[in-house]
Structure 1
Amino acid sequence: MSRYGDDVAALAAPLEGAGDFDVLLDRVGTARVVMLGEASHGTHEFYQSRAQLTERLIEEAAFSFVAVEGDWPDVARVDRSVRLADGAPEDPRDALATFERWPTWMWANDETAGFGQWLRWHNAGVDPEVRAGMHGLDVYSLWESLREILVYLREHDPEQVPAALAAFRCFEPYGEDAQMYALATRFVASACENEVVDLLVQLRERAREDRGPERFDVWQNAEVVAGAERYYRAMVRGGRESWNVRDRHMDATLARLLDHYGPESKAVVWAHNTHIGDARATDMGERGEVNIGQLARERYGPDDVVLVGFGSHHGTVVAGDGWGAPMEEMLVPPARDSAVEGVLHSAAPSRSLLVFPDGERPDLLTDALDHRAIGVVYHPERDHWSNYVPTVLGERYDAFCWFDETRGVDAMRVPPTPVFEPETYPSGV
């Protein structure tokens, strides 16, 4: 056992089911934002446990919506299903089956479908105005969001169609290939930026006049177009700036959602540990990178935000061996002995919850230890030297869910589609 054995024994409590989250719910208290992480985008136990905790937050603490690391238009179809909108699929699984962007398994899986079915069941028993929603925070859906804007405006606000068409036609020559657009911006500094800004300003003003859900949806799609345009321009200049563009977009989207739901609203966020764990407690901060966990603490205050990390020691995971590659279930080798995962493997119950105390903290929470992060692109043979982030655990998170052995998600089989987006920085998180 490592020198942190006594620290683990004092902190780790068995986590066998949803009933074992009581101590974490006490820690959440009146917090407005709870962010639930994952150490990969393809692990069953992370998705299952995250759903169990979220169900309790919605039922017992009146959380208003779940915001996920997914695209706004895709997740909007799930939102309409879980909130029983007219014409929406009765089974959220049918909405998830329409996800086409690689990696489809990230949300088109049995675990997310099961949560969506529970959420629809829950919402069927409450008044429509307090039904919990589900929304996407991410920035990739440039062309999908443009099409959603045009469809809405042609039917509801034809005066705004010219601005939307100007933006659409500016992007049209790139054939929905984000990489082609990004490369073009190296030679034309502003590219389609002016058209996008004009569209965004007009739709933002209309949304302030009409605060209905459909107007909010079209405004958010315009924000996605603006964010995606900035993101793809940054991608071609080299990785780290694009990371900040993306996480600042997710932070701003979360803030708009909380404002839209009202002053008493509360949010659960599902995203990779790399996004929800405070960047300042890792080497990301040294590189000038921010993330939504850090930004939320700065925006709402640390007492109003609870960040929950997830981790495992060994097992299997669903991932691809290259950007755009077919999904496969891969072996996850045992973690480094000196890493967070190695320490917990040696001393914690096989399924554990650690809720970090205020005030004086043990060395496990104050020392810098390596902490594994697996993206949608994964090479198990490189795991021991390429998948670890130096982390001060007690500063990065407020609590941690531990699963010694894990398995891959139960992915839905959906048709593969071409991949036009540049590879994310870092790869696939």
Structure 2
Amino acid sequence: MKQQIIDEINKRAKPLHTSQDLEPLMDEIGEIPIVLLGEATHGSAEFYKWRFEMTKKLIVEKGFNAVVVEGDWPPCFELNRYVKGKAHQDTDLKTLLKQLFNYYPSWVLGNEEMIPVIEWVKDYNRELPEEEKIGFYGNDVKSLWESLEEVIRYLERTESDELVAMAKMIYANLESSQRNPQIYGLNAMFFGQSVAEDVEALYQKVVESRKDLKDIDDEQFNDEINAFVMRNSERYWRSMATEGPDNWNIRVYHMVDMIYRLMEYHGEQSKIIVWGHNTHFGDARATEGMPLEGFVNEGQVIREQKGEDQVYILGFSTYSGEVIASTAWNEPLQVMEVPPAVEGSWDALLHEAGAEDRLLIFGKDEPVFSTSIPQRAIGAVYRPHEVEYQTYVATRLSDRYNALIHIDQTRPVKPLLPK
């Protein structure tokens, strides 16, 4: 079987050297409105490089009008203001990124590889009318305090005294958590300090107060989304103290809903590019562990809800190199070795078929590539020489992705903040 897989890789894989080598992907994507661009780690420079190349082509050649990254809404909305020329125009982008992404894992968006991406979108927007400018957003769910603060500012602007009082009471009740969402989850679960009912009530009142708004602009949309994030972020952090898939799945459904809300905001012809990890995008049903334990992900949910012809999933892999990660959550970042992939994994087979960067596009019926074989997945936390076996996911490659980019040797991103 191993040789059969290697032979099929050599038969089907195309060399990947320049952006022109991405043209077959453009043909495959056609008019699909949602494109998910994955990554096999949270800290490899080449994944950023090729997602940037894909993003440019999708915007210029296919008319995509929004870029969404795996980041919190408030700081990413500041980048939306930046690329649309509405704020921070006198601020050096490197300085701005340091200010916005000064929390763990800071290097995922606070890195030098993101600078040309954001500057390119800003330059592209320069000659576009306001209604056609490319948006830049984050669809994550973790900004409970930041989004609540934005909701308070919005309510103060609209002189909604009753709702301001409600929001400030929620904020005061969260003080015992010291702005630490994990402490809040424990306090809510074990010490009766949940603000869930109050947050839900506030959210519903904010929605009701906005029901007559039509043709909202970016700033009004920002107000709406911060209320939505506030509600779901409270749910997410409160669920941290529970076992099972609920916490993960709350985040997944929020991130998918954010994609849909952004598409609705950008209009009927909207097309959206999303950056995130393979674990979020590669259809969970094509892995062995996730479905058995009740976990879903964005790729699966969008395929189920919108249809497989409405979303295109591009995965990534690597054989070896270096990566930015940390040994535990909130621990300092460091450059780590990515050891050669374990024997028999997809990553190792792709290397054995030819130690070069390649593009693989899958079809509907793939008996070879639908074989369940481990594929490596490295997150923000990585201990390669202790629990390497835990970083592999049994994967039916052609069922999980529409296409795969393999980077044989990867380099670490360049973080903007020190360790």
TM-score grouping bracket, smaller chain normalisation: over 0.9
Aligned length: 413
Deviation, structure 1 residue 268:
0.6
328, 332, 337: which one aligns with 1:322: 328
Q: Which residue of 2 aligns with 1:209?
A: 212
Deviation, structure 1 residue 315:
0.2
Q: Which residue of 2 aligns with 1:374?
A: 378
Farther off after superposition, 326-335 or 292-301: 292-301
> Structure 1: which 5+ residue stretches go unaligned?
417-429
Question: For 2:366 and 2:327, how far apart are their aligned partners in 1?
Answer: 39
Alignment deviations for residues 175-213 of structure 1 (CA, whole Å, 9 cap, x no partner): 212122111122356810111112211222344422332
Would you say the 8 A contact 1:276–1:294 is kept in 2?
Answer: yes
Query: What are the equivalent positions in structure 2 for 1:112-131 lying under 5 Å apart?
Result: 112-131=114-133
226, 233, 243: which one aligns with 1:228: 233
Partner amino acid for 1:19? Q
Q: Which residue of 1 aligns with 2:77?
A: 76
> Structure 2: which 5+ residue stretches go unaligned?
none
Deviation, structure 1 residue 153:
2.2
Question: For 1:86 and 1:70, how far apart are their aligned partners in 2?
Answer: 19
1:387 aligns with 2:388: no
Would you say the 8 A contact 1:8–1:347 is kept in 2?
Answer: yes
Farther off after superposition, 245-254 or 189-198: 189-198
Percent identical: 36
Partner amino acid for 1:303? D
Structure 2 residue matching 1:334: 3-state secondary structure: coil
Structure 1 residue matching 2:335: 3-state secondary structure: strand
Alignment deviations for residues 40-85 of structure 1 (CA, whole Å, 9 cap, x no partner): 1000000111111011101111111111110000111111111111
405, 408, 411: which one aligns with 1:407: 411
Give the TM-score normalised by structure 1.
0.92
Structure 2 residue matching 1:56: 3-state secondary structure: helix
Query: What are the equivalent positions in structure 2 for 1:244-255 lying under 5 Å apart?
Result: 244-255=249-260
Query: What are the equivalent positions in structure 2 for 1:16-415 lying under 5 Å apart?
Result: 16-88=17-89, 91-98=92-99, 99-159=101-161, 160-187=163-190, 191-210=194-213, 211-238=216-243, 240-282=245-287, 283-348=289-354, 350-358=356-364, 360-363=365-368, 365-382=369-386, 384-413=388-417
Would you say the 8 A contact 2:186–2:241 is kept in 1?
Answer: yes
Alignment deviations for residues 317-340 of structure 1 (CA, whole Å, 9 cap, x no partner): 000111111111111100012000
Distance 1:212 1:202, change over 3 A: farther
Structure 1 residue matching 2:414: 3-state secondary structure: coil
Deviation, structure 1 residue 96:
1.4
Deviation, structure 1 residue 174:
1.8
Deviation, structure 1 residue 88:
4.7
Question: Structure 1 runs of 4+ off > 4 angstroms?
Answer: 86-91
Farther off after superposition, 36-45 or 345-354: 345-354
Deviation, structure 1 residue 89:
5.1
Partner amino acid for 1:201? Q
**Root-mean-square deviation (Å):** 1.7
Alignment deviations for residues 108-146 of structure 1 (CA, whole Å, 9 cap, x no partner): 011111100111011112111111111111111100111
Deviation, structure 1 residue 383:
5.1
Alignment deviations for residues 247-274 of structure 1 (CA, whole Å, 9 cap, x no partner): 1111111111111111111111111100
Partner amino acid for 1:272? H
Question: For 1:34 and 1:15, how far apart are their aligned partners in 2?
Answer: 19
Alignment deviations for residues 158-184 of structure 1 (CA, whole Å, 9 cap, x no partner): 343223223222222322121221111
Question: For 1:219 and 1:375, how far apart are their aligned partners in 2?
Answer: 31
Question: For 2:393 and 2:88, how far apart are their aligned partners in 1?
Answer: 45
